[in-house]
């Protein structure tokens, strides 16, 4: 695999900042130290937070940094997915951690959120440590009215590994074992999806989709339907017991986004982004010489697919140049990461698929980010690299500024720097191709980015509507009622309804034959209301990117401050310096138009020059 001449071999992680290996005896020693510190913490601070909140917070920071060392096991697991030793160690450490955390730490959040506001206000005045942690404290207190009693919370934490979450854990194992018959061969689910994207034969793609859809209708679909019921049922219980106003309230609160911003996001994507995506797919059909697309053609490659291979060193150079053109601070952070060997990129056997960035603040307040990917050399991979490095620079700036308790941005704007880095790199690559006059490669780059944006914005909001429906929202998305146990047939029906809301009526742009059971493999539904944040993050970044020219030289320092804020501000506070307001529908419409809208128009223009247009 590494004979690909892309020069990826030497880019492997150096994880020695954590441990020397999975058998390093220090792992168990750290677990023991951690247990002892949690126990001591409980003994020292329980029922005493009103007097000792400052020192307690400093201790939580220390404990947190020690616990961060154990992230090592997760990183090792990504490099050796099937290694039984790593797997066993990971399960063992997870179990011990949730046990000791449930036993000793449950009181902390409960007691902190229950503190009298007058006492807290006094502490903000008199204790500089407490003042420093004000955003952290206030964020925890958002959930003040939603906690249950301590024994109940403690029992729930201890049982969390054996609750609804265990259904989705087994779901992944079940999916990994799926076999899909195709042309007399058995394919894994992953391989089947890959054929849907890679195959240049429409008949072959349609046949593959039929097989996939049938497998989804079998035992796996039944299991999936039951998993969804476990999730919607347990969420409904939480809503009732914890007194949330609706099933999405808890997620919106932890995302630090007001409900109305989430609503206008859904509205703008349905009304503005969905028609744009249909415009794109009509053009795609024209390029493929088809009148309408089958659902199996949705991700098919276009005829001008770009096969250029870019060496990894070249990719780094492109990304660094793009980053530097905008901020030397950000480029500097990337250079340091390369020096410290924090990138693992060759697609070798045993690694998990995909890409991610994992960041920690280690003892001594040392921040470290680790980028993981499978680099195959396409322009798409270069953008993935830019994306993950964006996460890394975000975490580095926030980690240094805010420390272990407040660096992590909520999911909904954790994507800011990554999408931004990707957009900067995209524009750099685009400019290069324009100068080279390579229109086909340019079309490939633009269409790839459009499809990416559609999949992040339109598709995720269609997922979100499916979720809202199965959690009890009515088809016009106005009121909530108790979720019910849906049969496979009922889930199919809801799935097709929401798909049509975004991709058009049957035969309009797409036909939906063999697409009705595809809800069954979307594992994101197992983290309720997780998906809308993808669209939120992407559009927010596009809106922000569009402010770059408007603000000129003033943009970089404002932007770096936004990144440094980490988890200390909510969406409204973060965007205020840029004059942006996410509760206003226009904010989202602008985000859609400056990204997706502009690209679709460019694609139409380039296609027309090639003699291809939609009548
Ligand atoms: Zn990301």
Work out the average pLDDT over 569-579.
Answer: 92
Mean pLDDT of the chain: 93
Distance from the CA of 190 to the center of ligand 1, in angstroms? 21
Residue 3: its pLDDT value, please?
A: 54
Residue 1: its pLDDT value, please?
A: 40
How far apart CA 466 and CA 525 sit, in angstroms, is 9
Distance from the CA of 422 to the center of ligand 1, in angstroms? 10
Work out the average pLDDT over 135-150.
Answer: 91
Distance from the CA of 81 to the center of ligand 1, in angstroms? 21
How far apart CA 356 and CA 349 sit, in angstroms, is 17
- Which residues are bridge partners to 367 per DSSP? 361
Distance from the CA of 388 to the center of ligand 1, in angstroms? 6
Residue 237: its pLDDT value, please?
A: 95
Report pLDDT digits (tens) over 294-315. Answer: 999 999 989 887 888 999 999 9
Q: Identify residues whose C-beta is under 5 A from ligand 1, the ion.
A: 418
Distance from the CA of 335 to the center of ligand 1, in angstroms? 20
Residue 212: its pLDDT value, please?
A: 94
Low-confidence winner among 147-161, 333-347, 488-502 (lowest mean pLDDT): 147-161
How far apart CA 335 and CA 151 sit, in angstroms, is 49
DSSP string over 223-255: HHHHHHHHHHHHHHHHHHHTT-SSTTHHHHHHH
Q: Is 378's pLDDT higher than 80?
A: yes
Distance from the CA of 151 to the center of ligand 1, in angstroms? 37
Residue 384: its pLDDT value, please?
A: 94
Distance from the CA of 207 to the center of ligand 1, in angstroms? 32
pTM of the complete model? 0.88
Report pLDDT digits (tens) over 463-472. Answer: 999 999 999 9
Residue 213: its pLDDT value, please?
A: 95
E strand or H helix that includes residue 180: strand 180-182
Residue 259: its pLDDT value, please?
A: 96
Distance from the CA of 356 to the center of ligand 1, in angstroms? 7
SS3 372: strand
Residue 545: its pLDDT value, please?
A: 87
Report pLDDT digits (tens) over 425-436. Answer: 999 999 999 999
Distance from the CA of 150 to the center of ligand 1, in angstroms? 35
Report pLDDT digits (tens) over 120-129. Answer: 999 999 999 9
Residue 245 CB neighbours (<10 A) = 10
Distance from the CA of 374 to the center of ligand 1, in angstroms? 15
Residue 448's contacts (CB-CB under 8 Å, 6 or more residues apart) are 379, 380
Q: Is 531's pLDDT higher than 80?
A: yes
Token digits of residue 110: 């409960």
How far apart CA 59 and CA 49 sit, in angstroms, is 12
Low-confidence winner among 110-114, 240-244, 332-336, 412-416 (lowest mean pLDDT): 412-416
Residue 193: its pLDDT value, please?
A: 87
Distance from the CA of 209 to the center of ligand 1, in angstroms? 28
Q: Is 558's pLDDT higher than 50?
A: yes
Residue 308: its pLDDT value, please?
A: 87
Phi and psi, residue 516, nearest 5°: -75, -25
Report pLDDT digits (tens) over 43-94. Answer: 999 999 999 999 999 999 999 999 999 999 999 999 998 899 999 999 999 9
Distance from the CA of 394 to the center of ligand 1, in angstroms? 11
Distance from the CA of 421 to the center of ligand 1, in angstroms? 10
Q: What is the DSSP letter of 521?
A: G
Distance from the CA of 456 to the center of ligand 1, in angstroms? 11
Report pLDDT digits (tens) over 3-16. Answer: 568 999 999 999 99
The upper half-sphere exposure of residue 118, i.e. CA atoms within 13 Å in the direction of its Cβ, equals 0
Distance from the CA of 373 to the center of ligand 1, in angstroms? 12
Residue 320 near residue 308 (C-beta atoms within 8 A): no
Report pLDDT digits (tens) over 79-92. Answer: 998 899 999 999 99
Distance from the CA of 532 to the center of ligand 1, in angstroms? 14
Distance from the CA of 415 to the center of ligand 1, in angstroms? 5
Q: Largest Cα–Cα distance in the chain?
A: 76
Report pLDDT digits (tens) over 441-453. Answer: 999 999 999 999 9
How far apart CA 140 and CA 41 sit, in angstroms, is 19
Reported as a pLDDT band with limits 50, 70 and 90, residue 2 is: very low
Residue 407 CB neighbours (<10 A) = 24
Which residues in 289-345 belong to E strands, given as ranges?
293-294, 343-344
């Amino acid at each position: 695999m590494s004979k690909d001449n892309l020069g990826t071999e030497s880019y492997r992680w150096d994880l020695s900042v954590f441990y020397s290996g999975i058998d390093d005896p220090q792992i168990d020693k750290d677990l023991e130290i951690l247990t002892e510190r949690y126990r001591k913490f409980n003994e020292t601070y329980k029922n005493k937070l009103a007097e000792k909140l400052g020192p307690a917070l400093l201790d939580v920071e220390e404990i947190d940094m020690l616990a961060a060392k154990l992230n090592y096991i997760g990183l090792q697991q990504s490099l050796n997915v099937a290694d039984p030793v790593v797997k066993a160690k990971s399960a063992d450490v997870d179990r011990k951690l949730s046990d000791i955390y449930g036993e000793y730490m449950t009181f902390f959040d409960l007691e902190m959120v229950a503190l009298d506001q007058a006492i807290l206000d006094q502490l903000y005045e008199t204790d500089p440590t407490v003042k420093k942690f004000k955003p952290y404290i206030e964020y925890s207190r958002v959930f003040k009215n939603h906690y249950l009693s301590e024994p109940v919370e403690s029992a729930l934490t201890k049982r969390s590994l054996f609750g609804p979450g265990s259904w989705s854990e087994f779901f992944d194992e079940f999916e990994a074992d799926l076999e899909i018959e195709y042309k007399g061969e058995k394919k894994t689910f992953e391989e089947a999806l890959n054929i849907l994207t890679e195959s240049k034969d429409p008949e072959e793609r349609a046949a593959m989709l039929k097989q996939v859809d049938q497998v989804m209708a079998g035992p796996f679909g039944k299991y999936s339907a039951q998993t969804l019921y476990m999730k919607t049922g347990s969420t409904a219980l939480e809503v009732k017991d914890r007194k949330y106003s609706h099933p999405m309230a808890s997620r919106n609160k932890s995302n630090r986004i007001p409900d109305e911003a989430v609503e206008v996001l859904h509205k703008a994507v349905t009304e503005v982004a969905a028609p744009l995506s249909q415009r794109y797919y009509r053009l795609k059909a024209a390029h493929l010489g088809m009148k309408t697309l089958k659902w199996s053609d949705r991700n098919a490659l276009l005829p001008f697919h770009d096969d250029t291979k870019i060496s990894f060193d070249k990719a780094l150079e492109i990304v660094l140049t793009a980053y530097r053109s905008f901020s030397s601070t950000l480029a500097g952070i990337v250079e340091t990461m390369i020096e410290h060997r924090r990138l693992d990129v060759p697609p070798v056997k045993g690694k998990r698929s995909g890409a991610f960035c994992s960041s920690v603040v280690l003892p001594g307040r040392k921040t470290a980010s680790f980028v993981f990917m499978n680099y195959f050399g396409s322009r798409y991979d270069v953008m993935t690299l830019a994306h993950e490095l964006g996460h890394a620079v975000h975490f580095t700036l926030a980690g240094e500024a805010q420390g272990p308790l407040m660096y992590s941005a909520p999911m909904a704007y954790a994507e800011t720097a990554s999408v931004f880095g990707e957009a900067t790199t995209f524009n750099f690559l685009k400019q290069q191709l324009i100068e080279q006059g390579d229109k086909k490669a340019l079309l490939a780059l633009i269409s790839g980015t459009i499809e990416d944006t559609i999949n992040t914005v339109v598709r995720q909001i269609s997922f979100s509507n499916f979720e809202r429906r199965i959690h009890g929202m009515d088809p016009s998305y106005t009121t909530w009622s108790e979720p019910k146990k849906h049969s496979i047939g009922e889930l199919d029906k809801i799935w097709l309804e929401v798909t049509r809301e975004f991709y058009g009526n049957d035969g309009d742009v797409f036909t939906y034959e063999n697409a009705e059971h595809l809800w069954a493999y979307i594992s994101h539904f197992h983290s309720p209301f997780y998906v809308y944040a993808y669209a939120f993050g992407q559009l927010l970044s596009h809106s922000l990117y569009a402010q770059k020219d408007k603000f000129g030289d003033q943009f970089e320092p404002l932007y770096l401050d936004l990144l440094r804020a980490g988890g200390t501000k909510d969406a409204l506070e973060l965007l205020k310096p840029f004059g942006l307001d996410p509760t206003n529908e226009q904010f989202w419409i602008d985000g859609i138009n400056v990204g997706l809208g502009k690209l679709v128009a460019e694609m139409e223009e380039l296609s027309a020059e090639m003699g291809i247009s939609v009548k």
